[in-house]
Structure 1
Amino acid sequence: MYDPEVLRSLHVSRYKSEPEIFAAPGRVNLIGEHTDYAEGFVMPAAIDFATLAGISPRDDGKIVIYSENFKEERVFDARSLPKSGSKDWSDYPLGAMVMLAGEGHRIPGLSLSLLGDVPLGSGLSSSAAVEVATALAVTSLVGVDYARPKLARLCQRAENEFVGANCGIMDQFISANGAEDHALLLDCRDLSFRLAPIPANVALVIANTMVKHSVAGGEYTTRRAEVEEAAAVIARHRPEVRFLRDATVEDLHKWGAEMSPNALKRARHVITENTRTVAAADALIDHDLKELGRLMAEAHVSYSQDFEASCVEADTMVMLAHSQPGLIGARLTGGGFGGCTINLVEQGKANEFRDGLAASYASETGIVPQIHVCHASSGAHRVIASLSH
């Protein structure tokens, strides 16, 4: 959905230098919400919304970053990078460079142009796409090649330590490691993963409720603290349980009364969601789309009622999806409190589904949604090599 030639032309016009261009996709999570920081399982897919990064060297010792989306340029001294972010869009690309510098790489003067079509604030991980595209571009420029899981971890650290958002590893990992026509079941404990094929006759329809959210907000922090409270209670009885990944529903029956009511509910979501996520990968591998749809429906109810991270608009969007043609499964995706729903839909009915859902949602809520028919795409990659090479 992006045109690298547009970025190439823009970069050449601005910096009089041919760029190398890299792309990193956004993502949609098919199932597995708020399980990542419990060292559990998630199953995202990279999508055909992406950030493009064009890069070329400079000889004046400056790092110059231009965002076409924001129509703004930022300039930094390559020899004296900031230690922390400044709450600006440039924190995301700059943070990736700071983490690479921390690994012992000298970041040279460079021009970096960014252009993306991942919708901001919709839960499709525009920030991770910027970080991964930047990291891939800069490592190419300095002549190093990181294994993709390692690259993803560096980009996660950029968001945690430089930007100041306490995200898990999923967004950066799928952006770096996604595969065309596949979802990816990721074990957030050891970063092992397996690919689960998405059949050619299944479309990913992403429906934006147009209700914005931010994972840096207080709700995310509160939920995470409640999850950790529940794990700590269980650990008093079972010291081997460091994260809810290691806990069971039986543990909640035994010791749930020692938790706050909210912590008990959050834990029930995380523990059952882990089980559902692994089962959903098995269902995809077995081509059992009916079971996958059932698991997605169950996941949404858990996310809405036990984790209480949905909202009226998202619940409405999911409810209305079930009355549209071709639906396989629907649920709220991403960090919660708004954002997008993911709908798996029969490919031949995807456009009819999109139009019907848009009309129903607008009628029900008075909000005109953005709905995109997507497919699972490859992870970050080089798009155009510099013509000077």
Structure 2
Amino acid sequence: MNSSFQALYGHPPEAVVHAPGRVNLIGEHTDYNGGFVLPMAIPQQTHVELRRRQDSRVRAYSLNTGQAGEIAEYELGKEERRKGWIDYLQGVTSVLRRAGHTLSGFEVRISSEVPLGSGLSSSASLDVALLKGLRQLFSLKLDDVQIALLGQQVEVDFVGAPVGVMDPMATSIATVGVALFLDTREMRYERVPLPPGVDPIVINSGVAHNHSAGDYRVRRAECERAAELLGVKMLRDLTEADLPRAEKLPDPLGRRVRHVVTENARVLATVEALRKADLPKLGELFYASHDSQRLDYEVSVPEIDLLVDLGRADPDVYGARLTGGGFGGSVVMLAREGTGSAVAARIAGRYADQSGQRPAILVPQAPASPQA
């Protein structure tokens, strides 16, 4: 079936918009604790094409759902969760209407290069692309930060995934090759370019995760309980001087606090190392972050640990760590400049041989094949 917008709906789109996925360089599980994060956009994008209708009907087609030929439909004002991909679109129109924005019905075609369940914000990329597309289609008065905050509402209030603000902020305002240093409590941000001498690598492990599933919720609830017991609003309010009393909390709460507090410190140290182009220090911070996620926050899995260990053993890799919410997903590595493609290929090959999984190299992107 020809699934172009024209073939699906009988006319061309009026708006064509995209939003990237993101990789978090460091700062994991700190955003919903009011802390610091350091994401960066990746080349893979979510694309949306839209056209207005004269009624209140929404018709949507997704190229990535494995249900080729099926157009999903719903009525504006009658959004209700179906526990499928259409919930992201329903969530977007629901939060926009609640925020006072006027929409009519529309048709939309969605396609994405960001792999699902990879720890690279495929859902936030979708939310932001849809919000930016509707902003263009209906001339909505929204800036990119407001788009990000609405995207977070979609996930939390409609889809039911208790995520922080990092993912939609990164997919809304971050760029490739430039880290976004974000204070999630104060909503202040600064762009920090990657230094010369380093090639970023992102490898998807092939083990998918799901933020709306139980383990992610449990970690967030543990942090909220620990903050309550320690008498602070959020774990961001703690420093390393508070760790002795935090470590007296019932296990595993003390270890959860230790991860968040030390991870915030690592983000600040990483920003400083980026500015100084201190590549060995960046590597140390990456490995320390991964070990903290593995031992204190317990969000890694054996396949991810294997990828990180293969990075440790490679002479061209400065550092490697789990990126994203965990329980699968992807790793981010920093390699010596000019070696990224070769390093990614050999580590992915060794990983495939040892794990039986099918990894995908997302950064650096393979060059496009020449056209015949």
Q: TM-score range by the shorter chain?
A: over 0.9
Distance 1:357 1:149 in 2: 37
Distance 1:16 1:368 in 2: 38
* 1:81 corresponds to which of 48, 53, 78: 78
* Correspondence for 2:310: 320
* 1:12 corresponds to which of 6, 10, 24: 6
Tell me whether 29-38 or 339-348 shows the greater mean CA deviation. Answer: 339-348
* 1:244 corresponds to which of 210, 216, 235: 235
2:32 is the counterpart of 1:37: yes
Distance 1:167 1:13 in 2: 36
Indicate conservation of the 8 Å contact 1:29/1:45, yes or no.
Answer: yes
Indicate conservation of the 8 Å contact 1:324/1:356, yes or no.
Answer: no
CA deviation vs aligned residue, 1:189-236 (integer Å, no higher than 9, x gap): 02110111013543321112211211112111111122122212221x
Indicate conservation of the 8 Å contact 1:22/1:136, yes or no.
Answer: yes
Distance 2:130 2:352 in 1: 37
What is the DSSP-based 3-state SS (H/G/I as helix, E as strand, rest coil) of the residue aligned with 1:220? helix
Cα–Cα, structure 1 residues 227 and 142, in superposed 2: closer, same or farther, change >3 Å? same
What is the DSSP-based 3-state SS (H/G/I as helix, E as strand, rest coil) of the residue aligned with 1:104? coil
* Correspondence for 1:3: none
* Correspondence for 2:107: 111
Distance 1:208 1:255 in 2: 34
How many angstroms does 1:301 deviate by?
Answer: 0.6
* Correspondence for 1:52: 47
Distance 2:142 2:333 in 1: 34
Cα–Cα, structure 1 residues 226 and 68, in superposed 2: closer, same or farther, change >3 Å? same
Higher relative contact order (CA 8 A, sep 6+): 1
What is the DSSP-based 3-state SS (H/G/I as helix, E as strand, rest coil) of the residue aligned with 1:352? helix
Which consecutive segments of 4 or more residues in structure 1 shift more than 6 A?
Answer: none
* 1:187 corresponds to which of 173, 180, 183: 183
2:62 is the counterpart of 1:67: yes
Distance 2:195 2:241 in 1: 36
Distance 2:132 2:61 in 1: 17
TM-score (norm 2): 0.93
Within a 5 Å distance, the mapping from 1:296-335 to structure 2 comes to: 296-335=286-325
Distance 1:319 1:56 in 2: 48
How many angstroms does 1:255 deviate by?
Answer: 4.8
**Aligned AA (1:204):** P
* 1:91 corresponds to which of 83, 87, 92: 87
How many angstroms does 1:325 deviate by?
Answer: 4.4
What is the DSSP-based 3-state SS (H/G/I as helix, E as strand, rest coil) of the residue aligned with 2:247? helix
2:288 is the counterpart of 1:274: no
Cα–Cα, structure 1 residues 273 and 111, in superposed 2: closer, same or farther, change >3 Å? same
Distance 2:246 2:44 in 1: 44
Indicate conservation of the 8 Å contact 2:22/2:41, yes or no.
Answer: yes
Within a 5 Å distance, the mapping from 1:215-294 to structure 2 comes to: 215-235=211-231, 241-257=232-248, 259-294=249-284
2:309 is the counterpart of 1:344: no
**Aligned AA (2:94):** V
Distance 1:361 1:302 in 2: 22
What is the number of equivalent residue pairs in this alignment? Answer: 360
Distance 1:268 1:57 in 2: 50
Question: Which segments of 5 or more consecutive residues in structure 2 lack a partner in the other structure?
Answer: 366-372
Question: Which segments of 5 or more consecutive residues in structure 1 lack a partner in the other structure?
Answer: 1-6, 236-240, 376-389
- Kindly report the root-mean-square deviation, in angstroms, between the aligned alpha carbons of the 2 structures: 1.6
